[in-house]
């Protein structure tokens, strides 16, 4: 599984990227990781093989899974948001195209 979550409305930058450009690009990434996963009932457990946040590498992240028709929603368990310092839940939704 691979996941990349970015902020909406990110400004397009033109190469060559300056240090400030690269910082802005990275700041627009909310989460990025890939790994293996297993599904147990309504839970998906992702073992992060590589991640933007180095402290997440090698950890298991639990997500709730909801499938309604063509819509899939994944939610993390309440956890510390490393950007805000607050406990939050993030929902990621996708619709299957036919």
Which of 11, 61, 57 is CA-nearest to residue 38?
61
Domain housing 85? 2-95
Using the CB atoms, write b or e for 15-24: b if 16+ within 10 Å. eeeeeeeeee
* Number of structural domains in the chain: 1
Interval 33-84: pLDDT, tens? 999 999 999 999 999 999 999 999 999 999 999 999 999 999 999 998 888 8
What is the predicted pLDDT for the residue at 82? 84
Contact in structure between 5 and 91 (CB atoms under 8 Å): no
Q: CA dist 25 to 21, 33, 47, Å?
A: 6, 16, 26
What is the predicted pLDDT for the residue at 11? 92
Element (DSSP H or E) covering residue 51: strand 43-51
Model confidence, pTM? 0.79
Contact in structure between 88 and 77 (CB atoms under 8 Å): no
For the cut 90, the answer to whether the pLDDT of residue 93 exceeds it is yes
Owner of token pair 């909801």: 66
């Amino acid at each position: 599984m691979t996941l990349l979550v970015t902020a909406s409305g990110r400004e397009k930058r033109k190469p060559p990227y300056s240090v400030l450009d690269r910082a802005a690009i990275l700041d627009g990434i909310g989460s990025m990781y890939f790994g293996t996963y297993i599904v147990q009932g309504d839970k998906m457990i992702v073992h992060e093989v590589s991640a933007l946040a180095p402290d997440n590498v090698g950890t298991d992240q639990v997500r709730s899974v909801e499938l309604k028709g063509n819509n899939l929603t994944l939610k993390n368990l309440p956890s510390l948001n490393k950007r805000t310092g607050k406990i939050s839940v993030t929902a990621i939704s996708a619709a299957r195209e036919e």
